[in-house]
Amino acid sequence: MIAPFVRRCGVVLALPILMCASASAGLLVDADPDWSEGEYVLPAAPSDKTLRPFFVSAASPNTFLIDAASFTIGGDGVVRYVLVIRTRGGAENVTFEGIRCGTGERRIYAGGRKDGSWVAMKNSAWSPIVDNSYNRPRAALAKDLFCDGPAPPRDRDEVLRRLDGVSDFLDPARGGR
């Protein structure tokens, strides 16, 4: 007697979960079947002068930075940038990455070396941005700074203004943390 009720309720409960699963897989809009990625050039190594902080999570002790000099919006709609993650212990991770706002995907093109050179990633494919601890910086960039819904930002200056607003939040001299 209770089994049919549970089955009906299970279907009703599963539908929103399935709908959310497609969104969390990065499918914000239907992917353009004719889309092709444009050419890109590996940027110069980031400089401390051009790094801008952004907020990721109060749960992370790391510092997250974008190299403003490397930030571009390609004709293909891909937002490309250098991400720098610094730990309290002094370790630093530098990557050259891209985000497709329309599909909610990210790609890591290359990793940075201490000498300023780049090493291409062996598995550099487009992947959904999943808001978990590993991808949280990318989710924060896509949702809070780079993307206007499924569209890339209007222009580079708009994103730099957004980054400036976030850096005010992080600046203790201006009332931030």
Question: What are 102-159's pLDDT values in tens digits?
Answer: 899 999 999 999 999 999 999 899 999 988 877 789 999 999 888 888 887 778 888 8
The span from the CA of 68 to the CA of 14, in Å, is 43
- Which two three-digit tokens encode residue 158? 């708009």
For the chain, what is the domain count?
A: 1
What is the helix (H) or strand (E) element at residue 115, kind and residue range? none
Q: Is 119 helix (H, G, I), strand (E, B) or coil?
A: strand
What is the helix (H) or strand (E) element at residue 96, kind and residue range? strand 92-100
Q: Any idea which residue has 């890591």 for tokens?
A: 108
Q: How far is CA 61 from CA 57, 86, 108, 124, in A?
A: 9, 9, 22, 27
123 within some domain? yes
What is the helix (H) or strand (E) element at residue 52, kind and residue range? strand 51-53
pLDDT at residue 138, rounded to an integer: 93
Of 137, 125, 132, residue with least CA distance to 24: 132
58 within some domain? yes
53 within some domain? yes
Asked if pLDDT for residue 72 goes beyond 70, the answer is: yes
At 150, which CATH number?
A: 2.40.128
The span from the CA of 156 to the CA of 63, in Å, is 22
| pLDDT category of residue 164 using cuts at 50, 70 and 90 | confident
pLDDT digits (tens, 9 = 90+) for 10-35: 444 444 433 344 444 444 556 678 88
Q: How far is CA 66 from CA 9, 32, 33, 93, in A?
A: 46, 28, 31, 12
10 within some domain? no
Give the pTM: 0.75
Residues 6+ apart with CB under 8 A from 60: 133, 136
User: Which domain does 106 fall in, by range?
Assistant: 48-174
13 within some domain? no
61 within some domain? yes
